[in-house]
Amino acid sequence: MIRSYGINERVAANSDIDAAVESLSTLGYAIVEGGYSAGELSGFAQSFDAARLAAHSAAGGTEALARIDEHNTIRTPFAYDKNLLALARNPAILEICEQLIGGYQVLSQQNGVINPPAKTYNQGAWHRDLPYQHVVFSRPMAINALFCLDAFTIDNGATLVLPATHKQEKFPSDRFVEASAVQVCAPAGSYIVLDCMLYHSGAPNRSGTERRAVNQVYTSPIIRQQIDLPAFLGDDFTDDPGLRRLLGYEVTTPRSDAEYFAMRRAKLLT
């Protein structure tokens, strides 16, 4: 134990998850090992590339997406390749979310993110993942888990964070940003986990090759999903109760009083 004096209370971190929760609570970010094998990582990479092709085709082609600055993002990639759904169901990430958000969290979004070499992209500016919100919370309302499909390095534009800024309402001054920004490098197969109120930014990719990642955002069920996943996926996407809960099937907004009453009856029968 680290030596100290005059201390009656201290935080206990008896596991990697405890350490990640402490880091997220204090600094607003943590690196969490995904626990995937080399073969699984290769499979995720193939699924990512397949999902990109399918999503671009469904949207009318890469040029059509480029016109609206969406060509470096894949919205809900697991809808195009179910193998990527495993990234949103990682046990360590879900345990962290349960400890920080509470016993009920919903997958608000999953996006494939491409940081292209020698170009600007839409994540390359400071932001929160709950944008336009200048508030602070006593516990997270949302957690961001960015899966590193490729290693995040200084050369390829690893994520920049402003530690502990999830605890303040306003965006800091330029002088503070320049003095305090930290670049979070992480190996392929790991997650960079953020409190969604932490200010962060992508960085320029100077490597000559694109860098790929898959971002998951988990929220309290009172926050609306970026895309209505139950409507997008369809009611027959899965009959797994835990997965339906995670994807928001239990918290869809009723469209009439009759639908509301039906939902109430269903809850009373469970």
pLDDT digit string, tens, across residues 136-170: 999 999 999 999 999 999 999 999 999 999 999 99
Mean pLDDT of 51-72: 96
172: tokens are: 């800091």
Flag whether pLDDT at 270 surpasses 80: no
Chain mean pLDDT for the chain: 95
Of the candidates 86, 85, 119, the residue with the CA atom closest to the CA atom of residue 211: 119
Per-residue model confidence as pLDDT tens digits over 100-111: 998 899 999 999
Which is more confidently placed, 259 or 219?
219
Higher pLDDT, 52 or 262: 52
Write out the DSSP string of 118-162. Answer: TS--TTSS-B-SSTT-----SS-SEEEEEEESS-B-TTTTPPEE-
Residue 119 is predicted with a pLDDT of 78
What is the pLDDT at residue 73? 95
DSSP state of 28: S
Q: What pLDDT is recorded for position 264?
A: 87
- pLDDT-based confidence at residue 203 (cuts at 50, 70, 90): very high
Nearest to 32 by CA among 189, 230, 205, 264: 189
Domains, the chain: 16-227 (2.60.120.620), 229-270 (no CATH)
**Could you tell me which of 3, 209, 248 has the C-alpha nearest to residue 117?**
209
Average pLDDT over residues 102-124: 87
